[in-house]
Chains A and B, each alone.
Chain A
Amino acid sequence: NAGVMQNPRHLVRRRGQEARLRCSPVKGHSHVYWYRQLPEEGLKFMVYLQKENIIDESGMPKERFSAEFPKEGPSILRIQQVVRGDSAAYFCASSPDRGVANYGYTFGSGTRLTVV
C-alpha cells in the first residue's frame, strides 16, 4: 500500500521558468493538501483539493500559483514564472473520506524546488 508519492524529489528551475509538482495520494484518499516550507520555518497551508474541486485556496498566492486534482491522475501544483523566493520544500498530504479529524494527514516526501 504505497503512501503519498511526490515527484520530482528535487527540481531546479531558472527564474522565469515554470515548475510543475506532482502528487499521487494514498490509494483511496480523495482529499489532497499542499503546504510550503521555507528553510528553518513552519509549514504554510496553500490549498486543499478534492477530486475535480478546489475546496480552500486561502493560502495560495494570488498570482503565478495554481493547483488542480483531476478525476484521473495526480494532483498538480503549478508555479509560473518562478522567482528565487519560491525556493522551498513543497509537501503534499492526503486524507481519506472519513475525515481529517479522525485520521490526520499522510505526507509525501516533498519536492525541493530551487530557483537559480
Chain B
Amino acid sequence: QKEVEQNSGPLSVPEGAIASLNCTYSDRGSQSFFWYRQYSGKSPELIRSIYSNGDKEDRRFTAQLNKASQYVSLLIRDSQPSDSATYLCAPETGANNLFFGTGTRLTVIP
C-alpha cells in the first residue's frame, strides 16, 4: 500500500520568512517527486520537481530529496501572502502515475 504523509497544517509563517513543507513516502521504488500548489477552489499547479538526492533550487523555491530517508521537502524563501495555498507532495509510482499526499495548508501572514 503506497502512502504519502504530509502534515496537514495549517502552517503559518510571517511574510518574508522561510516556509518548510515536509513529506515522507513509503514506496522505495519512486524515482521522481513533484510538488504541486493548489489555491482554494482551483486546480493543482506544478511548481517543482526533483529526481536525485540533494537540493534543486529555482528562484524562491527549493526542493530537497533524501531517498535513504524517503523524505522530500519544499522550502519557500521570502514567503509572500500570495504563497498561501495547499501544497501537495506527489511521488511517481513507477506505473506512470502520481500518488498524492493530502497536502499541507500554508498561510503567510502579512
* Chain A contact residues, CB within 8 Å of chain B: 31, 33, 35, 41-43, 45, 48, 55-56, 91, 95, 99-102, 104-110
For window 31-73 of chain B, which residues contact chain A by CB distance below 8 Å?
A: 31-32, 34, 36, 42-46, 49, 51
Q: Which residue of A has the minimal Cβ distance to B100?
A: A43
Asked if B88 and A99 make an inter-chain contact with CB atoms under 8 angstroms apart, the answer reads no
Known: A91-B43, A107-B43, A109-B43. A33 touches B97 (CB 8 A): yes
Q: Which residues of B contact A95 (CB under 8 A)?
A: 96
> Is there an interface contact between B97 and A45, defined as CB atoms closer than 8 Å?
yes
How far apart sit A44 and B100, CA to CA, in the bound complex (Å)? 8
Contact A56 B95 (CB under 8 A): yes
How many Cβ-Cβ contacts under 8 Å join chain A to chain B?
A: 56
- Tell me whether B98 and A41 are in contact (CB under 8 A): no
A68 to B87 CA separation, bound complex (whole angstroms): 30
Give the CA-CA distance A41 to B31 in the complex, in Å: 26
Which of A48, A56, A91, A101 touches B44 (beta carbons < 8 Å)? A91
CB pair B98–A42 under 8 Å, yes or no, is: no
Closest Cβ–Cβ distance, residue B32 to chain A (whole Å)? 4
Task: Flag whether B102 is at the interface (Cβ < 8 A).
Answer: yes
Are B88's CB and A43's CB within 8 A? yes
Q: A43-B44, A91-B44 are in contact. Are A104 and B95 (CB under 8 A)?
A: no
Cα A34 to Cα B31 with chains together (Å) = 22
A42→B100 contact, CB < 8 A: yes
Asked if A100 meets B44 with Cβ closer than 8 Å, knowing A42-B88, A42-B102, A42-B103, the reply is no
Assembled-state Cα–Cα distance A48/B46 (Å): 19
Contact B102 A48 (CB under 8 A): no
Q: Name the CB-closest residue of A to B92.
A: A101
**A106 shortest CB reach to chain B, Å:** 7
